[in-house]
A and B are shown apart, each in its own frame.
Chain A
């Protein structure tokens, strides 16, 4: 019996389970069968979404982290591009303009030798940032390779490597750095006689590389221990992959998130450490300045000329705070489970 719409409607209301309002006009055409190609395909319709896109999306919801990132970018611009816009050179001593308070010509004032503080703070920030980033990079490289090898091989290798790391960790780090700096001073002077930075800055790099990688190594090791258990690592072994390939292709890329966040946290540590060492007089040699050395030399005139201390200190605080918040935000974006 051919179905028509009226018949159909009547029957439909009779046999429907619930008498909630439901109406539909069905035509005989609707009951034609659909060949397989025209049914919805099973290719994922959503646009491809990579891991970093998800991270970015989560990160962009964290207002504090975004602000920190902007602050970092602004400070970086200030430090690296700023000096080109200033009429003064950081070493330029302007006679007659010593110890000026902040004014229009010198927004941050001048120091005891008549040098423009704004330019010096810019250069100082540049140096501090550079030190921070370089040290973080060294720690990242040394620490992650050490930690990855230790975690991957396990057993006695891991045991020995970690005990060596423990010994280094237990050294009083600042003391070691000071000793290294003092003892490396002469050899470095001979190696780099004309260095603008000064030997003490170079020795900071060396000291950092020798001492500060332990935390990173531990973190990477624990990540690798966790990742090792994944079956894609076993699969790689079953394919005949070499240990180097497994570590570099499978383990490290999956730890990048943790590594990056850890490295980011190293930057404020390095900046702060450098500032501290400058206070002890182990900073860059004049006329080069870092934020720490600026603060240090401003200390003697703190009561009469507080502005000389204020600006370098402000920038140290801003940098440390901004990097810490950025690192926090990135970590939350990468591993949201830890937050809840």
Chain B
């Protein structure tokens, strides 16, 4: 018996129509997300990971447009909803926290008023009740002295605290889906550890599903159930966290894992980088987006973009790579 997934994205295409040309940021993204699941989306700059989240929340900035595909969230077809209907969903069922805590909060309003705004928009609570709920949320995210904090302005607080407040704001209406767009990238490592601890708590104690967008594989390995690897606006690999880290199938995934300097490495080994430069989204190649940088590049890779191949039915480990058309041992199972 399969549970209906909370979120289904099917063949999503997003482009930015700039004066210089069309930038194809997302080219055929498909995945599903279940309830209480933590999905990590990994990619570097230009992979389309953040753009896809913005498209999901329908907060794409001009000149970005969704040019194809469908998004189904909790039974509703997101791309057909009106802006009014979306405003009901945003903040209440679907919430997002952004990368830069310095600019995500409005500097002219107190923390309290920003929290209250979200709460009062989506619930029936009056002002006093909303304030109480805001204080409760701040406690939950580990901010001490919350009664004092709600009267403060964003510039009086540090980056780590602002990120906690963002998380409190996002979680205040108990959303079904929390999207975290590089939440720890702009933070120091020790503050990052605090925030990761908080996210782990959220994951264990709430019913929200989380989409964690990041380029940091360390963060992914710590908190995610499933991982989606993106390159050049396409999915290159998808699987649960063990599959991705221990049984990675795509050359890009393997390359990423191998090029990271690790603390538990032996010293004196040279890092194995991935050669070449990121793909130009205005001139997408005909074939596989990763072909130019791939050591195992074959002729077909330059001609045609690979479809997704199922490696493991059970764990839903999927890879987009022509290497996997040749089955192991050269045997076919009819």
Residues in A lying within 8 Å of B, measured CB to CB: 1, 3, 7-8, 10-12, 15-18, 20, 22, 24, 26, 29-34, 36, 39-42, 44-46, 49, 54, 57-58, 61
Q: Is the Cβ of A32 less than 8 Å from the Cβ of B299? A: yes
Give the dominant DSSP class at B's interface.
Answer: loop
Stretch at the interface among B39-47, B107-115, B200-208, B319-327: B319-327
Known: A3-B326, A42-B276. A57 touches B298 (CB 8 A): no
- Chain A residue at smallest Cβ distance from B323: A31
Q: Is the Cβ of B297 less than 8 Å from the Cβ of A46? A: no
Residues in B lying within 8 Å of A, measured CB to CB: 11, 19-20, 30, 275-277, 280, 282-283, 285, 291-294, 296-304, 307-310, 318, 322, 325-327, 330-332, 334
Q: Is the Cβ of A32 less than 8 Å from the Cβ of B309? A: no
Q: Is the Cβ of A33 less than 8 Å from the Cβ of B19? A: no
Q: Which residues of A contact B20 (CB under 8 A)?
A: 49, 54, 57
Q: Is the Cβ of A24 less than 8 Å from the Cβ of B304? A: yes
Q: Which residues of A contact B294 (CB under 8 A)?
A: 39
- Chain B residue at smallest Cβ distance from A26: B300
Q: Which residues of B contact A11 (CB under 8 A)?
A: 325, 327, 332
Q: Is the Cβ of A30 less than 8 Å from the Cβ of B291? A: no
Known: A15-B310, A29-B299, A30-B303. A40 touches B327 (CB 8 A): no
- Chain B residue at smallest Cβ distance from A29: B299
Interface centre among A36, A49, A57 (most CB of B within 10 A): A36
Task: Quote the shortest CB–CB distance from B120 to chain A (angstroms).
Answer: 30
Interface centre among B280, B294, B307 (most CB of A within 10 A): B307
Q: Which residues of A contact B331 (CB under 8 A)?
A: 1
Give Cα distance in the complex from A15 to B324, angstroms. 10
Task: Quote the shortest CB–CB distance from B22 to chain A (angstroms).
Answer: 13
Give Cα distance in the complex from A34 to B288, angstroms. 13
Q: Is the Cβ of B326 less than 8 Å from the Cβ of A39? A: no
- Chain B residue at smallest Cβ distance from A42: B277
Which of B291, B296, B297, B307 touches A17 (beta carbons < 8 Å)? B307
Q: Is the Cβ of A12 less than 8 Å from the Cβ of B325? A: yes
Give Cα distance in the complex from A18 to B9, angstroms. 13
Q: Which residues of B contact A40 (CB under 8 A)?
A: 285, 291-292, 302
Further contacts, 13 of them, CB under 8 A, given A33-B298, A34-B299, A39-B302: A1-B332, A15-B309, A30-B298, A31-B299, A32-B299, A34-B297, A39-B291, A39-B292, A40-B291, A40-B292, A49-B20, A54-B20, A57-B20
29 contacts between A and B (CB under 8 A): A3-B326, A8-B325, A10-B334, A11-B325, A15-B309, A15-B310, A16-B309, A16-B310, A18-B30, A26-B325, A31-B300, A31-B322, A32-B298, A33-B298, A34-B291, A34-B302, A39-B293, A39-B297, A42-B276, A42-B292, A44-B280, A45-B283, A46-B282, A49-B20, A54-B19, A54-B20, A57-B20, A58-B19, A61-B19
